[in-house]
Structure 1
Amino acid sequence: MGGQHVTTAFLDMRSNEASVFQSLLKPDDSYDVNGVYWGEMSIGQRIKFVRKVDTAEAKREFSSIWSMIKKEPLSPLKYYFRHMIIPGAGLLLEGTWVQAVDYLEICGIIVGQVLIGVIGDWLGRRWGLIQDATIMFVGLLMLTAAWGVTQNGWVICYAWALFFYGIGVGGEYPMTATSGMENAVGSGKVSTKDDRLHRGRNVTSTFLMQGWGQLLNQLVLILLLLLFHHGSSPPYSELVAQWTYRISFAIPAAGTLWLVYFRTYRMRSASKLLAQAKKKASVTGYDNKSLKLTFTHSGPRLLATAGAWYANDVFFYGNKLFQSEFISVLLPGNESVMVGWLYNLLNVGVSLAGYYLASFLIDNKLYGRKWMMIVGFLLDFILFVIPAFNYYYYSHVSGVKAFQAMYFLSSFFNQFGPNSVTFIAAAEVFPTPIRATAHGFSAAVGKLGALTAAILYNYIDTQTKFYIVPWFGLVGALLTWLFLPDTTGLDLKEQERRWTFIRDGRENEYCGVAIHPRHLSLWERWRGVGKVYNAERDYEQRIEEMRHEWEDRGTTRVKFVPLSGSRCSRSHREFTACTLSELNR
C-alpha cells in the first residue's frame, strides 16, 4: 500500500508538473487549449482565437483601470504620465524645435543617431539617456543665447548650435526605443504576457510624444507671435522675431533640464536587460561579435529597417509639398506666417490621430506591425501619385479641396503606418547587445532620406517633386514585404533565446517559435530559416534549459518537505524547481 501511495503521489506530481510547464511554455494568449500556436491556425480559427484573447485582455485592463479610479480618481492619469509621457519626454521636447530644417541640423541628427546608439550599447542605456538629455539641454541654451555682431555671424552661431542640438535629438531615437522596449521587461515590472500583448503599444505610446511635442511647438509659436506682435499680419519686427524664437527654445530647455535629473536619479535600472545579456555572453564592453553576427545573420533585416526608414523620411518631408501649394491657391499673395502655422497645427492634430490608432492596432495579431507598414506605404503612394499625374487640376481652385484632403490623409497614414512601425521595428528585430546600434544606424539612414529630399527639392519644380516622391512608397512597401519579419505577438525573451543559439554557433539547433514562418520575412522563409521549427522538440528543449538554469542557481536552496504524498511545497515556483530536481535525480 505504501508503494502504491508513493506511485500515486508521483503520478500526481508529474500531472501537476505538466500543468505548470504547459502554462509557462504554452501560454493561453498564444496557444489554444490543444497547444496549437496562433500562427498555425486557419484564418477562421485565428480570428476567433484573437478575438477571445483580446476581449479577455480588454476586460482585464478596464477592470484594472476601474479599480485604480475607485482607489484614486486621478491614478490612471498618473499611470499614463509615468509610463507613457515620461519615457517619451525626450521626443516630446525634441518635437519643439523650430520647423525650418537645414543641412547642418540633419547632419547633427545623423551623427547623434549613430554615435549615441553605439554608446547606448557600449556603456549602457542609462548613460546614453543621461548624455543625450544633457546634449539637448546645452544645445537649447546655445540656441536661446545665439548671437552675432553681424547677421552672418549670428547665422553661423545659430547653425552650429542647431548642429550640436541635433546630436542630442538624433540620440533620442535609439535610446528611447531601446529603453522603452527593455525597461519594463528587464526590471520585472511586466510579465512576458504583457510583453507579447502590449510591447508595441507601450513603445508606440512613447514615440507618439513626438507628435505632442510638435503640437506644443506650434501652439507656443502662435501664442508668442500674438503676444509680442499683437496680431498675426506682417511685417514682423526684428525684436518680435528675436523674442519669439528665443523663448520657443528656452521653454523646452527647462523641461530638458528636468529630464537630465529624472534620467540620472529615477532610471537606475535602464541598463538591466543589456547587462544581463552581456553577462550571459561574458562580454564587458561593446559586443563586437554580436555586431558582426548581425550583419551575417540579419543583414536583410537591417536592409528592411534602414531602407524603409529612408523611404519614409522622403515621404515625411514630402508632406510639406501639399501645404504651400493649397495655401497659395486658397489665399493668393498671403505673406502671414500664421496661416501656415494654423494649417500645420491642424495637420499635427490629424497626425496624432494616426499615432494613437497605430498604438491601438500595432499588437493586433490580425493586422500588426508588418501589414500596418505596408498598407501605410501603399496608401501614401496613392495619395501622392494622384496629384502627380493631374497636378494642374488639383493645384487650382477646382480641385484644391481634394488636394487639401490628400494632404491631411497622407499625414494620417504616414503615422498610422511606416513612421510608427519603423521606430519599433528597428529595435525589435535585433538582439539586445547591439539593439541601440542597429536602431541608430537605421534611423540615420532614414534621416539621409530627409537630407536627400532637402537637397533635391531645391533643384526641381513642385510637379516634378510629386512625380518623384510616390515611388519611395512602393520601394518601402517592397522592402518591408521581402525582408522585414513580423514580430507581432512574439515574446522579446524568445527572440533573445534564439540569439543565444546563434551567438554560440548553434543556430540550427534552435527550433522555437522565433523561427515560426509567421515571424520570418519572405526572404528568410525562402532561405529555409524556419525549416527546423519543431514545436514538440522545442518544448522538451525549453524544459531542459529550465533544468540547467535551476541547477546553475542552486536548487538546494529550495525547501523540501518530508514525503507524504508530495515532496514539494505548494509554491508553483518551488514546485517546478523541486520537480526538475527530482527528474534529474
Structure 2
Amino acid sequence: MARGGDQLGVLTALDAAKTQWYHFTAIVIAGMGFFTDAYDLFSIANVTKLLGRIYYTHEGAPKPGTLPPNVSCAVNGVALCGTLAGQLFFGWLGDKLGRKKVYGLTLALMVVSSLASGLSFGKSAKGVISTLCFFRFWLGFGIGGDYPLSATIMSEYANKKTRGAFIAAVFAMQGFGILVGGIVSLIVSTAFDHAYKAPPYNVDPKASLVPEADYVWRIILMFGAVPAALTYYWRMKMPETARYTALVARNAKQAAQDMSKVLQVEIEAEQEKVDAMAVKDNNSFGLFTREFARRHGLHLLGTTTTWFLLDIAYYSSNLFQKDIYTSIGWLPPAAEMNAIHEVYRVARAQTLIALCGTVPGYWFTVAFIDYLGRFFIQLMGFFFMTVFMFALAIPYHHWTQKEHRIGFLVMYSLTFFFANFGPNATTFVVPAEIFPARLRSTCHGISSAAGKAGAIVGAFGFLYASQSKDPSKRDAGYPAGIGMKDTLILLAVCNCVGMFFTLLVPESKGKSLEELSGENEEDEEAGAITTSEQQQTASSRTVPV
C-alpha cells in the first residue's frame, strides 16, 4: 500500500480499530486449535511408558515393560514429522487458496486423527503401534496447518497497536493445552489406578497392569478431539481476512463488506485503487527470486534458525520430562509403581511444571510484547534459557541428590518460563508480521517447519544422547550416549546460538503489516506511473458499500 492517503481504507480501519469483541472471538477460535495442538503433541509423553508396559512385556523385548528405542522414537516423533509436512503444505495452500478455505480442513483432520489414534488396532503389539504412528502422522499434518493459518489470520485481523498481544494470546492457548493434557491424564489414571499385585514389578511387568490399562492411553489421546470439534462451526463462520481479499485476491468490495460487518462501521470499497496498484506491482516477486532474497532473505534466515534452535531444546525438555525426572530421582523406579500409577506420577510432574513455568510464561509475553517489543523478549528469553540450562547441567550431580531436587525443579520451571516469555512465543509472532501478504502464510509455514525440524532433532537426538556411557545405567537396547549432563549442556549451547541469530530478526512493534513487508514502497511507485485516465477515474470515485 502507498503511504498516507493512498492506503486502502479497509486496512487503515483494521490498523486503527479499537480492541473489540471480535478480537477476543478470533483469539478463542484460532487459539483452540493451538490448545488442541499442544494437548495432542505433548500428551503422548504421559502414556509412552504405559505403552511399553502393555505391549512389550513379551520375551525377546530388549527390556520387558519398556518401549524399544526405535519404537519410542517413532511414537514420540512421528507426529512432529507430520507437523513439519503440514506446515509447509498448508502454509503454501493458505496463500494460494486463501486462509479461510483451508482453515476448517486442518481442524477436521485433527478431530478425525485424534479419535483414530485412540482406536489404534492390530493383532500384535507391532500392529497397534504401527496404526498409532500412522494416525499420529496425520494428526501432526493437521496440527502443522494450524500454525501458519492461525498466526496469519490473527495478524491480519489485529490492529497495529495490540497485534503482538493478540497473536501471542493465540499461541498462549498452547500452554493451557499442555496443562489440560496433564490434568486429563491425572483424572483418567486416578479413575483406573488400583494395584493389581504388589511390587516389585520388574520381576513380572504384566503384574503391574490393571485389566483396564489399555483404555487409559486411548481415552487420554481421544480427548484431544473435543476442543477442536467444539470450535469447528465458529471457525467456518469467520470471513476471509481483508488483507488477503484486497491485496492477493484483488477484491476490494468483498474486503470492505466483510470488515464492515466485523468492525461494525461503514467502509468504502476502493476497487479502482486496487486496480491501479495492479498496473505495476513491483511487489509481485516470488519466494524463489533474487528480489525476495534481497528484501527478506535475512529475515527468513533469522525466523527459521531461531525457531529451529529453540525447538531442539524446548521439545527435548517437554517430550522427555519423564526421563529427566527419573534421572534426578523425582520419579521412583518403575519397579515401585504399577503401570497406571506411573501415568499419574508423570502427569502430575508435567502439570506442576506447566502451572509454575509454562502457562505464566506465555501470558507474560501477551502482557508485555507490545511494550518491550519482540526483539527484546526473544533475546532475553534465549539468554535466560542459556543461563538456567547451564545452571542445571554444570552441577548436574549436585541436583541428583535428594535434598536438592526442589532446587532442580525450580530451575527447570524457570527454563520453561523464559522459553515461553521469550522465543517460543516470539518465533511464532514475528513471521506472521514481516512478510508480504501473498507470501505470509508460506513464509510462516517455512519458519515453523524449521522449528519442527529442530523438534525432530531434539526428540530423536535427546533419546539417544541422554543415555549413559555406562552400560549398567542406560536403558536396554540403546547405544552409549553422552549422558544427561552433557546433553543439557548441548541444549544450553543451542539456546546461546539462538541469541546471535535473533539479531537477523527485525522489530515489528507498532508498525503496520504493509510497512513491515515493504508493500508500502512498491505500491507508491506503482501509483506514480498510473495514467491520467486512471487518475481521473480515481478522483471521481465514490463507491460506498
Checking the alignment, whether the CA contact within 8 Å between 1:326 and 1:403 is kept in structure 2 is: no
Q: Equivalent residues in 2 for 1:80-91 (5 A)?
A: 82-91=25-34
Write the deviation string for residues 239-292 of structure 1: whole angstroms up to 9, x where unpaired.
Answer: 53332222223333243234333222x11323x3112112256599xx762553
- Could you tell me how far apart the structure 1 residues matched to 2:186 and 2:39 are? 13
Match in the other structure for 1:141: 115
Which protein shows a greater Rg?
1
Secondary structure at 1:363 match in 2: helix
Q: Does 1:156 align with 2:178?
A: no
Question: Quick one: structure 1 residues 146 and 499, their matched pair in 2 at CA, closer, same or farther if it must change by over 3 Å?
Answer: same
Higher relative contact order (CA 8 A, sep 6+): 2
Question: Quick one: structure 1 residues 167 and 294, their matched pair in 2 at CA, closer, same or farther if it must change by over 3 Å?
Answer: same
* 225-234 vs 341-350, which moves further: 225-234
Q: Does 1:347 align with 2:331?
A: no
1:360 Cα shift?
A: 0.6
- Could you tell me how far apart the structure 2 residues matched to 1:549 and 1:90 are? 48
Amino acid at match of 1:89: M
TM-score normalised to structure 1 length: 0.68
Which consecutive residues of structure 2, in runs of 5 or more, have no partner in the other structure? 46-74, 200-206, 251-273, 466-480
Question: Quick one: structure 1 residues 219 and 180, their matched pair in 2 at CA, closer, same or farther if it must change by over 3 Å?
Answer: same
Checking the alignment, whether the CA contact within 8 Å between 1:319 and 1:407 is kept in structure 2 is: no
Amino acid at match of 1:379: F
Match in the other structure for 1:462: 484
Checking the alignment, whether the CA contact within 8 Å between 1:290 and 1:433 is kept in structure 2 is: no
Question: Quick one: structure 1 residues 471 and 263, their matched pair in 2 at CA, closer, same or farther if it must change by over 3 Å?
Answer: same
Match in the other structure for 1:472: 494
Question: Quick one: structure 1 residues 345 and 231, their matched pair in 2 at CA, closer, same or farther if it must change by over 3 Å?
Answer: farther
Match in the other structure for 1:171: 145
Match in the other structure for 2:53: none
1:238 Cα shift?
A: 6.5
- Could you tell me how far apart the structure 2 residues matched to 1:472 and 1:342 are? 28
The RMSD of aligned alpha carbons is: 3.6
Query: Which of 249, 258, 263 is the matching residue for 2:235?
Result: 263
Match in the other structure for 2:269: none
Match in the other structure for 1:361: 368
Match in the other structure for 1:73: none
- Could you tell me how far apart the structure 2 residues matched to 1:173 and 1:552 are? 44
Secondary structure at 2:223 match in 1: helix
1:102 Cα shift?
A: 2.3
Question: Quick one: structure 1 residues 391 and 130, their matched pair in 2 at CA, closer, same or farther if it must change by over 3 Å?
Answer: same
Match in the other structure for 1:6: none
- Could you tell me how far apart the structure 2 residues matched to 1:155 and 1:262 are? 34
Checking the alignment, whether the CA contact within 8 Å between 1:181 and 1:199 is kept in structure 2 is: yes
Question: Quick one: structure 1 residues 549 and 479, their matched pair in 2 at CA, closer, same or farther if it must change by over 3 Å?
Answer: farther
Amino acid at match of 1:356: W
Q: Does 1:294 align with 2:316?
A: no
- Could you tell me how far apart the structure 2 residues matched to 1:227 and 1:466 are? 36
Question: Quick one: structure 1 residues 493 and 341, their matched pair in 2 at CA, closer, same or farther if it must change by over 3 Å?
Answer: same
Q: Does 1:180 align with 2:154?
A: yes
TM-score normalised to structure 2 length: 0.73
* 313-322 vs 230-239, which moves further: 230-239
Secondary structure at 2:364 match in 1: helix
Checking the alignment, whether the CA contact within 8 Å between 1:104 and 1:162 is kept in structure 2 is: yes
1:205 Cα shift?
A: 0.7
1:329 Cα shift?
A: 2.5
- Could you tell me how far apart the structure 2 residues matched to 1:548 and 1:411 are? 60
Q: Does 1:223 align with 2:228?
A: no
* 384-393 vs 344-353, which moves further: 384-393
Q: Does 1:253 align with 2:253?
A: no
Question: Quick one: structure 1 residues 151 and 276, their matched pair in 2 at CA, closer, same or farther if it must change by over 3 Å?
Answer: same
- Over the matched positions of the two proteins, sequence identity in percent amounts to 25
Query: Which of 472, 491, 506 is the matching residue for 2:512?
Result: 491
Amino acid at match of 1:342: R
- Could you tell me how far apart the structure 1 residues matched to 2:321 and 2:81 are? 25
Secondary structure at 1:485 match in 2: coil
Match in the other structure for 2:271: none
